[in-house]
Structure 1
Amino acid sequence: MRPPSPLPPALAAAGRAGRALVMGVVNVTPDSFSDGGRWFAPDAAVAHGLALLADGADLLDVGGESTRPGAARVPVAEELDRVLPVVRELASRGAAVSVDTTRAEVAEAAVAAGAVVVNDVSGGLADPEIRGVVARTGVVYVAMHWRGHADVMDSLAQYDDVVADVRRELAERVAELRAAGVADHQVVLDPGLGFAKPGSANWPLLARLPELVADGFPVLVGASRKRFLGHLLADDDGAPAPPEQRDAATAAVSALAAAAGAWCVRVHEARGTADAVRVAARWRAAAPSGEDIR
């Protein structure tokens, strides 16, 4: 597996050194499941992004549309107004910035403002024109496994073998990207934890992550604060742990995903995961040659 390019030298070097990257989440939305709109104002979002970098994040993922289950879509003009000032300011401060969007217009504007990664939770299905933007600009593109928007995705969670089905559907996204002129070295795959996946379906995707890594593309894992972790950590009465109490479990998943070969982990709290991926890198480096440490 080779790291995607082009990336800023520091990010490419981290990947070549065998350490998973840490992507910090900057939600510029009033209705995020994880923070309830705490970073909605541009100044607050920029300050939060800089704090994530100080805590060990390698790049920042700026999103202006909530993808929590049941969330309604926002107009494209509103999404642009939310993300562009934050992308522009963080990029001007030297941050490596990803834009979290499913829309070609937003992706193109964000890249012009300084984004170096387009993180598309729909894998190009929501707006096929985004593939052309990626091909023209040459940026790194994260194609996530997806079956429908947030307001309908929970009704689309039927699988025969979730790992085999996700791999097959991601292969279809790769074929569509290639047809649009996107080079393989631009592509990162994401199994889409929590997106059209019931809680029980997420664990096989994590446990069998090496199968996805073996398909030859860098893999991003976004487990941070997801519902399936909340249910795992439920109290004695069965009430799921709230999002802000899921960070330790997130760091544990980050370490295991990194040890299994993930290229990047996407998280809301960076410090614990920054430590976790360094532990995983040292663990992998110390394993006897050819031995499977998973």
Structure 2
Amino acid sequence: MMDQQGVAKMPTTWRCGRFLFDLAKRKRPIVMGILNATPDSFSDGGKYKTVKDALAQAEQMISHGVDLIDIGGESTRPGAEPVTLQEELDRVLPVIEGLKDCGVPLSIDTYKAETMRYALNAGVDCVNDIWALRQEGAINAVLENANCGIVLMHMQRDPVTMQFNPEYRDVMAEVKQFLKERADLLIAQGVAYERIAIDPGFGFGKSLEHNLNMLTNFHSFGELGYPVLAGISRKSMIGKITGKDTNERVAPSVAAAIMAADRGAKIVRVHDVPETVDALKLWEAVNTEG
């Protein structure tokens, strides 16, 4: 979406299936809570692999003010091996069924077209794809749904090889160009601007230097004219800086979310919902004052 001077203009709303986020009225970012129904995710793998445990965790996130729940059935940590379609569906569909009427929008974290279709038909409101819909059939899967939100993420190579010496001439320019091209492709297919969000992909084919560059200059991603998601929670960049294990990275993860909010993030994807929501309430109060 361009203004009269040809400059990218941020949509005032983000359509997320049955829900509509008013970006013009919201002062603080949308908090996307991570719900991994997997045995091997880098931070919380195995904690919510039963449906009962996953639903209990979702209820906790809802009680603490989460805005959106991102459900994943396949780990995409560095070096992760893919799982079969059936295994992924067996993990996520019962969770979606249990949460579809929870009053909070649901997102499916997947790159498989058939998983997208099944999840959307089951009641999911958003597709969050690390491959930015580059896998076979993925674009058609979202075109078949008139309202689902779409998060396009940048990743260099694939989860198995992405952290093998990632290289860029200019990480900001290259990531922005990729995200622009993927969003433009959807727009050309008739997808409304208001359905698209973008994610520069912290930790997905980036060194610590690349990640810090992107966080420092995060505001630049907003120049593309789409809501920008920051997914930094508990990631290895935090571990490299702090020397802490994944479960000891709560405080710096919250700090990273605040830094991203300061630089224009409209969505923050986090493990630690209550701490992040409280911190953003304070951030909002300070930024609203006066």
Q: Counterpart of 1:92?
A: 101
Change (3 A) 1:150 1:222: same
1:35 aligns with 2:31: no
- 1:267 aligns with 270
Query: Secondary structure at the residue paired with 2:108?
Result: strand
Shift of 1:202: 0.5
Instruction: Decide whether aligned partners of structure 1 residues 7 and 20 sit closer, same or farther in structure 2, where only a CA change above 3 A counts.
Output: farther
Aligned residue for 1:92, secondary structure, equals coil
Match of 2:255 in 1: 252
Total equivalences in the alignment: 279
Verify: 1:204 aligned to 2:207, yes or no. Answer: no
**Deviations 1:21-64, CA, capped at 9 Å, x for gaps:** 10110001110110231111111111111111112211110000
Work out the CA distance in 2 between the residues paired with 1:143 and 1:14: 18
1:246 CA displacement: 0.6
2:60 corresponds in structure 1 to 51
Distance 1:15 1:90 in 2: 28
Supply the RMSD in Å over aligned alpha carbons.
1.7
Q: Deviation of residue 224 (structure 1)?
A: 0.4
Deviation at 1:176, TM superposition (A): 2.4
Give the counterpart of 1:5 among 5, 8, 15.
Answer: 15
For structure 2, which runs of at least 5 residues remain unmatched after alignment? 1-9
For the residue of structure 2 that corresponds to 1:12, the secondary structure is strand
1:25 aligns with 2:34: yes
Q: Is the 8 A contact 2:153 2:199 kept in 1?
A: yes
Report the equivalent of 2:200. 191
Q: Which one has a larger percent helix, Structure 1 or Structure 2?
A: 1
Runs of 5+ in structure 1 lacking a partner? Answer: 235-240, 288-294
Retained in 1: the 8 A contact 2:37–2:46?
yes
Structure 1 position 139, deviation (Å): 0.5
Counterpart amino acid of residue 229 in structure 1:
I
Give the equivalent residue in structure 1 for 2:161.
152
Contact kept? 1:91, 1:115, Cα under 8 Å: yes
Cα contact 1:6–1:139 (8 A) shared by 2: yes
**Which consecutive segments of 4 or more residues in structure 1 shift more than 6 A?**
none
The separation in 1 between residues aligned to 2:83 and 2:24, in whole angstroms, is: 35
Do the aligned partners of 1:15 and 1:21 also contact (CA within 8 Å) in 2? no
2:288 paired residue number: 285
Output the amino acid matched with 1:5: R
- Code of the residue aligned with 2:123 in structure 1: it is G
Describe the SS at the equivalent of 1:155: coil
Given that 1:131 and 1:182 are in contact with CA atoms closer than 8 Å, whether structure 2 keeps it comes out as no
The secondary structure found in structure 2 opposite 1:93 is coil
Could you state the TM-score of these two structures normalised by the residue count of structure 2?
Answer: 0.91
TM-score by length of structure 1 reads 0.90
Rounded Cα–Cα distance in structure 2 between residues aligned with 1:46 and 1:91: 11
Deviation (angstroms), 1:216: 0.8
The CA distance in 1 between the partners of 2:58 and 2:129, in whole Å, is 19
Cα shift at 1:166: 0.6
Contact 1:29 1:64 in 2 (8 A): yes
What letter matches 1:4 in structure 2? W
Identity %: 37
Alpha-carbon offset, residue 215 of structure 1 = 1.5
